[in-house]
Amino acid sequence: MSSWATRLAVLAAGTVLTLAVGLPILASAQPADSAGGQLNTSKIPLHLVEHIQAAAGTCPQLTAPLIAAQLWVESGFQANAVSPANAQGIAQFTPPTWTDWGTDANSDGVADPFDPADAIAAQASYMCSLIEQFRRAGYAGDVVDLALAGYNAGPGAVQQYGGMPPYPDVVKYVAKVRDNQTTFTTALPAASGRAPDGTWPDETCTIAPDPTTGTGCITPRTANLVTHLRNSGWNQVTCWDEHAWNPTSDHPLGRACDITIGRLGRRPNISEQAQGDQLAAQLQAAAPALGINYLIWAGQIWSTERSNEGWRPYGGGGVYDPGDITGGHYDHIHASMY
């Protein structure tokens, strides 16, 4: 494996989660919400989606939209947040609670409340423990609401009142999480989500004009990718194009986008290369959630159907010169959708 492919594999494995510029990610298949929807990933920074998805289902009552809503209320998705009470990280664990529930979810050797992978996994475990504790106790009220109250005020408050503590701040916290749960839930469109067998149903080019070019059209799945990229600060994105020279291109079908790294026609500098590597790794990790078919970047190609092979040398597909800066995709990342 080349040094570049090795570096990208490490990034995709999650040992590096964000750049200094704070780029986000996505990943893993989207579990359905109990209310009939799924996680609205367009509302969430890319680097958090895979962790939220992985934590969903830790117990039956814990859905991805609920986890996202709680994180938003706790910290506004800020991994380095610290409250006046010294609650730390994206999930706002106090040091004593972290001692009990902290976990090294990404196996980097450190259980860190400021690491979203660790904090979100710990959040899920703690919430599920509270849900089960209050369910067994038979306290009055919805067990998820009680767990949220226990997370916010401590389980002792719920135990003291045998149900929802009558503290205005706690009641307000629970209501705010529940309200935001709706924000982070999206209906599951038949043509956008995965089929029961794990495949991605075909989508037609129905969104017109393409918001990245002002012409042509893109599919809803591609539009979701564009939203993610723009929310993450990537604005040099172009999707629909005739691509008359390439009869097999996904661009005229509205199923592909190119993300410029640096400037078209020149090789990225060191900083731009690092950003491109990071984004490529993030998109690779997000592929199961977004429906990405394959990616091309810096002379390498990765595809979902051959994901076990990792990043492979890109040969140009008989159309492009892989040694050329643009033909080899050294100045842009190509993403094709299912």
**Residues labelled catalytic:** 74
E-strand ranges in 37-175 read 37-39
Dihedral sign of CA atoms 64, 146, 153, 156 in order: negative
Q: How far apart are CA 264 and CA 272, in angstroms?
A: 12
Cis before residue 209, ω within 30 degrees of 0?
yes
Six token digits for residue 204: 């037609």
Map tokens 């004593």 to a residue. Answer: 96
Nearest residue to 288 via CA among 80, 115, 49: 49
E-strand ranges in 30-184 read 37-39
Contact, 328 vs 334, CB < 8 A? no
Contact, 81 vs 89, CB < 8 A? yes
